[in-house]
Amino acid sequence: MLTVRLPVERDAIAPDGCDVRVLVACDGASMAHFSLPAGETSVAVAHRTLEEMWYFVSGTGEMWRRAEDTGAEHTVEVAAGVALSIPRRTHFQFRSTGTEPLVAIGATVPAWPGIGDQSGRGEVYAVDGPWQATVGSGSERT
């Protein structure tokens, strides 16, 4: 059994460029706190084997998702109280459009490979998104 408090400092920078604070994990899933600064746009990415569920807790923004197999795409406004899913191989990108960071709690199924390593090597791949990224990926930022 694990009990944690939200870390004050980020643990890593995700492949999409957002700050990550690792929360908890079990055999089949993991949970993290994601934060994208106000006015910033993430890198467009997709996961090879993972699915994610996000619940936004503060900020405002937009999330774009495109199904790799069908090409169906959706852009939705996000803010506190909005939840969404990111099925495996779904291309996604998000941006913070408000004056405060866009913050979400995300659950990853199965658990993120190498909880201490948020680089996404082998799991995450870059895709073309609708917006120009304004942050670098976790492998580019420090």
Q: Which CATH number goes with the domain that contains 73?
A: 2.60.120.10
Q: Does residue 141 form part of some domain? A: no
Q: Does residue 16 form part of some domain? A: yes
Predicted structure pTM score: 0.91
Q: Does residue 132 form part of some domain? A: no
Q: Does residue 39 form part of some domain? A: yes
Q: Does residue 18 form part of some domain? A: yes
Write the pLDDT tens digit of every residue in 1-51: 889 999 999 999 999 999 999 999 998 999 999 999 999 999 999 999 999
Q: How many domains does the chain have?
A: 1
Please confirm whether the linkage preceding 113 is cis (ω < 30° from 0): no
Q: Does residue 2 form part of some domain? A: no
Where is average pLDDT lowest: 19-28, 109-118, 125-134?
109-118
pLDDT at site 141: 46
Write the pLDDT tens digit of every residue in 43-96: 999 999 999 999 999 999 999 999 999 999 999 999 999 999 999 999 999 999
Q: How many angstroms separate the CA atoms of 49 and 7, rounded?
A: 27
